[in-house]
Amino acid sequence: MQSSRNLDRFLALKDFEQPARKRLPRPLFGYVSGAAEDSATLHANADAFNDVDLVPRVLVDVSARSQNVTLFGRTYSAPFGIAPMGISAMTAYRGDIVQARAAAEASIPMILSGASLIRMEDVHAIAPHTWFQAYLPRDMQHIDALINRAKTAGFETLVVTVDLSVAANRENNIRNGFSLPLRPGFRLAMDGLTRPKWLLKTFVRTLWRYGMPHFENAFAERGLPILAPETLRDFSDHDHFTWEHIRHIRQAWKGPLIVKGIMHPADARIAQDVGVDGIIVSNHGGRQLDGAIAPLRILPEVVAATTLPVMIDSGFRRGSHVLKALALGASFVFVGRPFNYAAAIAGQPGVARAIALLKAEVDRNMAMLGLTNCADIDRSYIRFRNILKNGGNPGAFH
């Protein structure tokens, strides 16, 4: 692990990626960093931010700035949180817990993945205001049981991911030697041996203290071990789900209910009609449908289609990215991979460093834009590039 002193060399979220590549076995780093097929959507997510320019105001008294945001009755210290990421406990020792604890101490939300390897009860005990993200089981009986478990554990906010009807075509996983179920073999063993710090401090330490990792939160009961052949089915056999399942969950879950994976304005309207409390515009970080539109590009249409709080993820790396999304109508932003890398490099101090860097960027950019509050940024603070492509309308963004 990096010492706190060494963390000073990380100056931006992007700085965590290459050290994480060096620390993690190739299959694991490829799993976290990779996307579907040609990674076109992964790159489109990043490119979308370059089509939006910020328009600063000057001679505004910005000496008293606050980036606090209130969401579902709770006030957070920044307009961003940590997105759900599966198997984080394989990339960092007790990865979900170190991320949840760092988020709690920074007063931002963290969403625990349904594909996590640490019991939801253990994470909630450390960080009680963590949100829980569910991949729905195959039938209503198992759905009800999982919801009841999350209630009993004390979770207040439930996030249901809906863009996983079938398994994505993640060719990069095959090329890098990653698979679910995890298949032990010579190549995987060699990858581990060439990363001795990860092998001893994360994998062997986990095995010694907790045994073979299982998917702990896919069902009401303990899920399968990562070596089980049926593992992939549990997270991809969702092609029969419809809005009726969300209606059913709405009746059962009385706290804030959020649907993650909305990309079409029509679906945003349906979500509101069904009675959910918020949506997250997301293309799964480019990990599902390659060629899908970047969330930032469709965000204005989704915001216009609903009165629900509209959150967003996929590709966020800078404070300016966060503010661009807020200007386009987002209520909140979630960031994934960089926090995973930070945990892999330095555990909780690494995640805390990453959060602090992003907070500092948001604060600095607010001052230079002439803003004292996140709620004050709107479309007047941005302009769009590629005017000719958009039919000559500087306000168009398609």
Nearest to 121 by CA among 151, 87, 94, 91: 151
Nearest to 367 by CA among 56, 11, 78: 56
Task: Establish whether 284 is a catalytic residue.
Answer: yes
Cis bond leading into 181, ω under 30°?
yes
3-state secondary structure of 285: helix
The runs of H, that is alpha helices, within the chain are: 17-23, 26-33, 40-49, 88-91, 95-106, 120-126, 140-153, 171-176, 186-193, 196-198, 205-210, 231-236, 243-252, 265-274, 295-305, 319-327, 337-369
Among 245, 284, 321, 398, the active-site one is 284
Radius of gyration (Cα) for the chain, nearest Å?
A: 20
What the block records as the tokens of 151 is 């209630």
Cα 396 to Cα 398: distance, rounded to the nearest angstrom: 6
Cα 301 to Cα 160: distance, rounded to the nearest angstrom: 22
Nearest to 67 by CA among 366, 381, 370: 366
Residue positions annotated with a catalytic role? 284
